[in-house]
């Protein structure tokens, strides 16, 4: 196929040899299959902010550090330069997260770099070389659901160990191959220490993925991994090889009504996005 305009510079620089076809179109990017030498990889082309449908980007960017004070001031003023810089940070967040999480033992695609808004990364394939499906496209046995759910909980745990929350985790951004689940789509990854919504986002992530696996293993619906993981994080007792139980003893103190209402509001917006995404797919 004809190379998209955004990928052509990578071809000119010898990073990509050929565009083989379109793989998928999401709310923030278009993904293409490309040939790089003898390997087939993915090229994720981020959509322009004007047409990108991902909502509440500011909520996700809270707490992201910018070393350059001029850039930080420009972003705060929302000048054209500041908006451009904020967009570059949004695009680079995913490749930065992929490098960090791979080193932390989280199952994510291998990243090869982000070049002017195009992320080159590993193509996750099945046993016979086919493109690995997303979770929402497969069915599982009860035993496999329990096993894979545990794997994703370990991924969530290890992400938080390095200070990140996925922020948009669901059956739509987890791939499945013979080795188990692989986490994808991380441009909105949240800085856990610097984002006031990090806890509710982690609870939503775990709730979404648990709801999916509980279709096949109903007992998972009664687990409380998000609360267990976050409590360990706040206590400073989190480490990558921790054995999680999914059990949590809730406080009997009076609930923070404002916090609960905020969480309900966030969950409602997330469900609306999920419904829109199901309609698109």
| Cα 256 from chain centroid (whole Å) | 28
How confident is the model at residue 210, as a pLDDT?
98
45: left (phi > 0), else alpha (psi -120 to 50), else beta? beta
Phi then psi dihedrals of residue 117, to 5 deg: 80, 15
How confident is the model at residue 28, as a pLDDT?
81
Q: How far is CA 114 from CA 7, 79, 94, 97, 173, in A?
A: 11, 24, 9, 12, 19
How confident is the model at residue 87, as a pLDDT?
73
Please report, in tens digits, the pLDDT of each residue of the chain (281 residues total).
899 999 999 999 999 999 999 999 877 889 999 999 999 999 999 987 665 544 445 555 555 554 555 545 544 555 666 566 667 777 788 999 999 999 999 999 999 999 988 999 999 999 889 999 999 999 999 999 999 999 999 999 999 999 999 999 999 999 999 999 999 999 889 999 989 999 999 999 999 999 999 999 999 999 999 999 999 999 999 999 999 999 998 877 665 667 767 777 776 776 676 666 666 55
How confident is the model at residue 127, as a pLDDT?
87
**In contact, 131 and 122? CB cutoff 8 Å:** no
Query: Which residue segments constitute the domains of the chain, with CATH numbers given?
Result: 8-280 (1.10.510)
Q: How far is CA 265 from CA 55, 63, 210, 259, 268, in A?
A: 14, 21, 20, 10, 5
Q: How far is CA 79 from CA 70, 71, 84, 85, 201, in A?
A: 12, 10, 8, 10, 29
């Amino acid at each position: 196929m004809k190379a998209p305009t955004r990928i052509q510079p990578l071809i000119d620089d010898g990073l990509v040899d050929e565009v083989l076809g379109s793989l998928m179109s999401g709310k923030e990017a278009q993904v293409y299959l490309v040939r790089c030498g003898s390997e087939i990889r993915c090229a994720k082309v981020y959509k322009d902010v004007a047409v990108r449908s991902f909502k509440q980007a500011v909520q996700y960017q809270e707490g992201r550090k910018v070393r350059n004070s001029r850039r930080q001031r420009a972003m705060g003023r929302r000048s054209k330069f500041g908006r451009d810089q904020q967009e570059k940070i949004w695009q680079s967040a995913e490749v930065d997260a992929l490098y960090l999480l791979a080193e932390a033992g989280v199952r994510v695609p291998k990243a090869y770099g982000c070049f002017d808004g195009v992320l080159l990364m590993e193509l996750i394939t099945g046993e016979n070389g086919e493109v690995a499906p997303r979770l929402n496209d497969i069915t599982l046995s009860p035993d496999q659901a329990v096993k894979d759910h545990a794997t994703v909980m370990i991924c969530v745990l290890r992400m938080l160990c390095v200070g990140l929350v996925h922020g948009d985790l669901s059956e739509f951004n987890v791939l499945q191959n013979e080795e188990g689940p692989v986490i994808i789509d991380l441009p909105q990854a949240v800085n856990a220490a610097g984002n006031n919504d990090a806890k509710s986002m982690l609870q939503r992530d775990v709730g979404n993925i648990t709801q999916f696996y509980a279709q096949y293993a109903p007992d998972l619906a009664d687990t409380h991994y998000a609360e267990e993981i976050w409590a360990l994080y706040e206590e400073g007792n989190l480490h990558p090889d921790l054995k999680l139980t999914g059990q949590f003893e809730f406080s009997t103190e009076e609930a923070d009504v404002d916090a609960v209402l905020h969480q309900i509001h966030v969950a409602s917006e997330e469900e609306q996005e999920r419904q829109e995404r199901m309609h698109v797919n």
